[in-house]
Amino acid sequence: MPDKPREVQHVTIHGHRRAFVKVGTGPALLLLHGLGCNHTTWEPVIDLLARRYTVIAPDLLGHGQSDKPRADYSLGGFANGMRDLLTVLGIEQATVVGHSFGGGVAMQFAYQYPERTERLVLVASGGLGPDVTPAIRAVTTPGFHQVMGVLTLPGIRHVGKKGMQLMTALPSRHARDLGEMAEIYDSFKDPAARHAIRHVVRGVVDWKGQVVTMADRAYLTEEMPMAVVWGRDDTVIPVQHAGRAGELAPRSRVEIIPNAGHFPHKDHPERFAKLLHDFIRTTQPASYDRDRVRQLLVDGRAEPTPMATVTEITSA
């Protein structure tokens, strides 16, 4: 963790104030956080990555210190926002790393702007299957905003957050991610944040689970280096989705980290940073070829074949 808080910078785009952290030098890495989180989820790995890369870690619109307007919270809208942020910062291309919901944004960014995406890294990503924790499905139900308004009243919120933090000490994989979940729960005290999260979730999840998937467009990653990282003990999005990603994108590199949950970059930051660096070091940035993409679209999707290399990391 850093010795002191990093400087959070702000830029106003389309009238909305966006917060981000930018550190380091070298090839650009765009780190996209998950639902209800913010750039601080990447704190354990930012310094490690900034030794070699220019790291940009934004707060997505509706999250953290960014504005929470009544606005477009679709995956396409988030991808547009990240394109605009990189443009303002003078960054033409980046390796895009997305965690959980941020993985869905990363996939959408790569789909909309392949010429600006050097590589794609999905960390415990959404968009690979229907399964998702009931806590996220609950956000889509009528009355969520009102119920959460009661549950985040000062006294109740304090007890609930403290209880979740204490439960992280339990010897159970189901308790592993409760520390992060406690921070997300605490963020719901802001009515604007609750409204934003509800709009975000309703765009990608219904009461049955995830409704947005990369399955029909995964073949377009054929020309783009792609890595998938998952914690073996993930209780938010099942680790089996990592294998699904390997089937959809047979040339991808799939890494399973044991003794890690939904936040493998926080559970094992040094392993995660090394894994990411090795992936970048051993792959060439994607080169956008309009004619090749046109032909892929014409030919359409082939039946997936499970050719991806799946590796479970066992050493420190």
Active site residues: 100, 234, 262
d(C-alpha 41, C-alpha 205), whole Å: 22
CA distance readout (Å), 261 to 104, 152, 169, 253: 18, 25, 14, 19
List of residues 6+ apart from 243 with CB closer than 8 A: 254, 306, 310
* The two structure tokens encoding residue 174: 């189901």
Sign of the Cα pseudo-torsion (186, 188, 191, 192, in order): positive
What 8-state DSSP symbol labels residue 114?
G
- 3-class DSSP assignment, residue 56: strand
What 8-state DSSP symbol labels residue 79?
H
